[in-house]
């Protein structure tokens, strides 16, 4: 048996027979390859080094937040700096219903999604009435107000310590097996978001969003109902992010606004979005894994210094890669990705 590499073909000679495989880069773009890798990774990690499973779960969840955020950014033409607000909505809804009413996780998920939907819809007019810096500041403000609310109404939200005693999603009795199942659930959430939003980004709605991103006034003058697109995009994205909050609550079996609502968590999501490439949903997956693993490595190697080093490394990366990791690819293939984002100044 002999392998031979010639002219972008891998040739296998065995037993007098010959098999050839083309290894041209265009075949590498088959999404099934990457889905296969993402599915295989938790299984491999489970057998080799189970303590790495929480990092994979975190990576999937970061990507699952950044992907709807890309939809929100695309459809409104503005960057939301407070997506963690909807994690708070979803997480607290699930936690309160699970603790006080003993609802099962299926029902709490529906309730969390509804919570995200209602709050998303109520806050979506922000994307119409404000723009640029004002929109960013307003969206930044809401999670911080939510933290204050959790402290003021500490009877309900249990203040700093947060709510605990939430029913788990899975309980097999084996800790590492639980983690493996959580990893698959988080991966399923992320992949469903990825393909649903990919479908939207390839549809007629994407071209509306691209037009809104470029020039709202002109888009409106040629018949695009700008407000409808903004409200729909904002509300759908908020609902999807709230479901991630639901997952966090049932995964940790505890939920505290002090963990998910502060700016440090927003920074992580923001970095996933920026490093992956703004509005590039496939880039969000790369960004999610990159950030989750970078954070884990820094915590293990530098300990107490990691909260300082983490943002510094990310800032350097942002300077070196202004269009994110996916931007490196997009630079050479810009016409393949029709809707791109141009920020409002």
Contacts to other proteins by CB under 8 A: 203-204, 207-208, 210-211, 213-215, 217-226, 334-335, 338-342
Exposed (0-12), middle (13-18) or buried (19+): which is 153, by Cβ within 10 Å?
exposed
Least Å distance, CB 340 to other proteins, is: 5
CB closer to other proteins out of 29 and 202: 202
CB of 287 to other proteins, least distance (A): 21
Nearest to 268, CA basis, from 286, 253, 287, 245: 287
Q: Which two tokens stand for residue 267?
A: 């920074």
Alpha-carbon gap, residue 13 to 210, rounded angstroms: 50
**Cβ closer to other proteins: 74 or 272?**
74
Closest by CA to 85, choosing from 146, 157, 130, 132, is 146
Residue 332 CB, shortest distance to other proteins, in Å, is 15
**Shortest reach from residue 199's CB to other proteins, in Å:** 13
Query: At its nearest, how many Å lie between other proteins and the CB of residue 294?
Result: 30
Chain length of the chain: 345
Mention every residue, 6+ apart, whose C-beta is less than 8 A from residue 286: 275, 276, 325, 326
CA 171/CA 166 separation, integer angstroms: 12
Angle at CA 146, nearest 5°, toward 143 and 147? 95
3-state secondary structure 226-263: HHHHHHHHHHHHHHHHHHHHHHHHHHHCEECHHHHCCH
Smallest gap from residue 159 Cβ to other proteins (A):
46
How far apart, in whole angstroms, are the C-alpha atoms of residue 290 and residue 55? 10
Minimum CB distance to other proteins smaller for 18 or for 199: 199
Decide whether 253 or 340 has the Cβ nearer to other proteins.
340
Number of C-beta neighbours around residue 342 at 10 A: 11
For the bound state, the minimum distance from the C-beta of residue 223 to other proteins, rounded and expressed in Å, comes to: 3
How far is Cα 232 from Cα 197, in angstroms, rounded to an integer? 13
> Which is nearer to other proteins, 211 or 242 (by Cβ)?
211
Nearer CB in complex with other proteins: 213/239: 213
Please state the closest distance from residue 281 (CB atom) to other proteins, in A.
Answer: 17
Identity of the residue, 196 or 313, whose beta carbon is nearer to other proteins in the bound complex: 196
Tell me whether residue 176 or residue 203 sits nearer to other proteins (CB atom): 203
What is the rounded distance in angstroms from the CA atom of residue 126 to the CA atom of residue 17? 66
């Amino acid at each position: 048996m002999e392998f031979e590499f010639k002219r972008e073909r891998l040739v296998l000679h065995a037993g007098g027979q010959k098999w050839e495989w083309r290894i041209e880069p265009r075949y590498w773009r088959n999404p099934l390859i990457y889905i296969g890798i993402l599915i295989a990774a938790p299984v491999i990690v489970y057998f080799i080094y189970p303590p790495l499973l929480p990092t994979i779960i975190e990576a999937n969840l970061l990507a699952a937040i950044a992907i709807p955020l890309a939809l929100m950014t695309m459809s409104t033409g503005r960057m939301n700096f407070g997506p963690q607000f909807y994690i708070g909505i979803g997480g607290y809804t699930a936690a309160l219903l699970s603790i006080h009413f003993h609802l099962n996780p299926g029902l709490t998920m529906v309730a969390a999604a509804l919570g995200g939907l209602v709050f998303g819809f109520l806050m979506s007019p922000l994307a119409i009435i404000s723009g640029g810096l004002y929109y960013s500041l307003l969206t930044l403000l809401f999670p911080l107000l939510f933290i204050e609310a959790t402290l003021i109404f500490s009877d309900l939200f249990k203040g700093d310590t947060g709510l605990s005693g939430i029913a788990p999603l899975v309980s097999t009795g084996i800790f590492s097996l639980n983690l493996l199942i959580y990893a698959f659930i988080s991966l399923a959430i992320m992949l469903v978001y990825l393909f649903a939003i990919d479908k939207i980004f390839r549809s007629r709605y994407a071209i509306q969003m691209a037009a809104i991103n470029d020039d709202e006034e002109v888009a409106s003058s040629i018949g695009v109902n700008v407000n409808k697109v903004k409200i729909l995009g904002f509300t759908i994205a908020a609902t999807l992010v709230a479901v991630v909050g639901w997952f966090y609550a049932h995964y940790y079996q505890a939920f505290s606004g002090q963990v998910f609502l502060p700016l440090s968590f927003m920074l992580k999501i923001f970095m996933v979005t920026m490093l992956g490439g703004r509005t590039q949903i496939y880039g969000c997956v790369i960004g999610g894994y990159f950030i989750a693993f970078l954070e884990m490595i820094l915590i293990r190697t530098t300990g107490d210094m990691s909260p300082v080093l983490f943002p510094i490394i990310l800032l350097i990366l942002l300077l070196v890669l202004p269009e994110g990791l996916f931007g490196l690819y997009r630079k050479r293939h810009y016409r393949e990705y029709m809707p791109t984002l141009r920020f409002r100044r």
